[in-house]
Amino acid sequence: MSESIGNRYVVIIGALLIQVCLGSIYAWSIFQTALREGVYAWTSTATQMPFAAGLASFALFMIFAGRWQDRVGPRKVATVGGILLGLGYLLAYLVDVFAAGDELLGTVWLVITYGIIGGAGIGFAYVCPIAALVKWFPDKKGLITGIAVAGFGAGALVFGYVEEFLLAMFGAPASMTIGMPFAVLGIIYLVVVVLGAQTLVNPPEGWLPPGFTPPATTADGKGIDIMPGQMIRTATFWLLWFMFVLAATA
């Protein structure tokens, strides 16, 4: 039992490492500003498209990730998410090759790599820490969910400074070297998220913290259980999903 209790606090550490990396998507404004200035001089519309694609991909793949992690566990799904996130940033390294010839080509490349691939990685990885933590902390569901979401929010703050440092170090946007910060971040995300994912394991079936008794379910409870396929055919699901998309892009 002491080993199980120890395990659940290790899961918190891994979950926070993952969430901070995933939350860096909201530090895009640092790259956006750099792409509008210096040798790039992209239009505002062009700089917004990769971020919009990333949020859309994040929201879409998060739907499938939830069901998948229920079947195979959070570790495998979060590992795939970390690989996709790192790969998206590493491929974004080539943006300078495409942007040198045409702003449109550079934009399309970032939409595919940073946006679609990287966003998919965030979508796959995001649900896993929260799902695992709630199972390990049934006695503190609200607190533990808040901690995980706070880690995601802190990602923009932490990696905003990291991105500014990397841009200055490689001389972008005064020179066409913005690809290097993407590559460095890709390596960081690949290593940190994949390592953090290895801590995400579910507790044994029926496990409860010592001294915790789950609240009894009342006979007249209004809750119902439905399958994921049934869920996505309900108006309530799509209303909540579009609320998330609108809030994320506001």
Q: What is the pLDDT of residues 70-108, one digit of tens each?
A: 899 999 999 999 999 999 999 999 999 988 768 899 999
Cβ distance 148 to 135 under 8 Å? no
Cβ distance 42 to 111 under 8 Å? no
Contacts of 135 (CB under 8 A, 6+ apart): 202, 203
Q: What's the residue count for the chain?
A: 250
pLDDT(250) > 90: no
* Angle CA 227–244–198, to nearest 5: 65
Distance of CA 207 to the CA centre of its chain: 28
Q: How far apart are CA 16 and CA 150, in angstroms?
A: 9
| Over residues 149-176, mean pLDDT | 93
Q: Which residue, 193, 233, 188, is CA-closest to 90?
A: 188
Angle between helices 2-22 and 179-197 (to 10 degrees): 160
CATH number of 16-204: 1.20.1250.20
Six-digit token pair at 42?
């992209």
Q: How far apart are CA 227 and CA 205, in angstroms?
A: 20
The model's pTM is 0.86
Q: How confident is the model at residue 237 (pLDDT cuts 50, 70, 90)?
A: confident
- Please list, residue by residue across 13-33, b when 16 or more beta carbons sit within 10 angstroms of its beta carbon and e when fewer do: ebbbbbbbbbbbbbbbebbbe
Q: How far apart are CA 220 and CA 240, in angstroms?
A: 26
Domain ranges of the chain: 16-204
The tokens 């640092």 sit on which residue?
A: 30
Q: In terms of DSSP H, where are the helices of the chain?
A: 2-22, 28-36, 44-72, 74-92, 95-99, 103-110, 118-136, 141-170, 179-197, 228-231, 235-249
Is the model more confident about 4 or about 150?
150
Is the model more confident about 135 or about 224?
135
pLDDT(5) > 70: no
Residue 138: phi, psi to the nearest 5? -65, -20
